[in-house]
Amino acid sequence: MNLTGGLHWHWRAWRADVQWAQTRIEIENWLQVQAIDKDHLILIGASAGWMMSSAWLSRFKYVETWDIDPLAAPLFKMRHGSALRRQGVRLKCNTGDALTQLPMLLREQPRAAIFFDNVLGQIRFQTHTINQTENRLRTITKALRGRHWGSIHDRMSGPVERSWMTTPAPVAHTLALGAANEVQETQRWLGHMGAKSPWLDHLTGEVFKEGTEVTHMAWPMQPDYWHWLQAGWVTP
Ligand SMILES: C[S@@+](CC[C@H](N)C(=O)[O-])C[C@H]1O[C@@H](n2cnc3c(N)ncnc32)[C@H](O)[C@@H]1O
């Protein structure tokens, strides 16, 4: 099942330009300060790059995108193609299941950096049980050992008491992940977002190892249903 692809998703993303602006800027600011010494970027779950920054992509010589949604490739080229061309960046947009093909992609492109662009939190909807989700995520992170990779993903999502129009979203917050601060950070962050029960755990709590520096951001995906995003970068 693909809840974030297809015409409906692109229509919603196009209409949400203003509503998603703060999150988009926070993602760009976070990406810009990551030290990534690579020329080739593989972007998985790229969609049309609604939340992605052309300026950041222009730091690479070659950007390769992957998405299972057949509309993603033409729309991504439409949104980012000319900016990348102007900067001399080669762009290749692929349609297909990059998560299943990940071991092959990693083998074929041993020097590329990999960025999971808000896709790992979707695995919860593509598997039948919590165990299956956790195992799939574990298999993915295991395959990435020794690689430069990053991810921004849903940590949790759910209804909120506030309106994005009247109460600004909490600003991005960076911390080192740790068992000692996990419960405290979850409560603090959900409180800041005005979360109203029940919230969905996207089971991404172990994507990054303890000690990884992560940045938490609020994403008012719908006016009354928000996502808590977690972003991090791993260098071997
Ligand atoms: C939340 S959207 C990503 C938004 C996107 N990063 C942006 O800035 O617009 C998640 C995307 O992941 C894609 N996706 C889900 N499973 C995938 C898979 N196994 N391989 C490649 N793409 C996948 C979906 O089609 C969807 O476009």
- Domain harbouring 92, CATH code: 3.40.50
Nearest CA to ligand 1 atom 13: 45
Query: How many angstroms separate the CA atoms of 106 and 139, rounded?
Result: 13
CA of 167 to the centre of ligand 1 (A): 29
CA-nearest residue for atom 27, ligand 1, is: 47
The helix (H) or strand (E) run that includes residue 103 is helix 102-108
Average pLDDT over residues 81-103: 98
Predicted confidence band of residue 3 (pLDDT cuts 50, 70, 90): low
Ligand 1 neighbours, Cβ below 6 Å, are 2, 4-5, 13, 44-52, 66-69, 72, 97-99, 117-119, 122
Q: Which of 1, 42, 67 to mutate to test the pocket of ligand 1 (most atoms within 8 A of CB)?
A: 67
pLDDT higher than threshold 70 for residue 4:
no
Summary mean pLDDT of the chain: 94
- CA-to-CA distance for 45 and 117, rounded, in angstroms? 5
Q: Does any domain span residue 84?
A: yes
What is the length of the chain? 236
* Residue-range definition of the domain harbouring residue 118: 6-234
Going by alpha carbons, the residue nearest to atom 21 of ligand 1 is: 67
Element (H, E) at 143: helix 130-143
pLDDT single digits (tens) 11-48: 999 999 999 999 999 999 999 999 999 999 999 999 99
Give the C-alpha separation, 66 to 169, whole Å: 30
* pLDDT tens per residue, range 108-136: 999 999 999 999 999 999 999 999 999 99
pLDDT at 117: 98
pLDDT of residue 231: 98
> Is 1 inside any structural domain?
no
pTM over 0.85, yes/no: yes
d(CA 76, CA 80): 6
Q: What atom of ligand 1 comes closest to residue 48's alpha carbon?
A: 9
- Token pair belonging to 54: 């052309």
Distances (CA, A) of 130 to 40, 63, 125, 137, 202: 34, 33, 10, 11, 10
Question: How does residue 162 score in pLDDT terms, banded at 50, 70 and 90?
Answer: confident
In the chain, the number of structural domains is 1
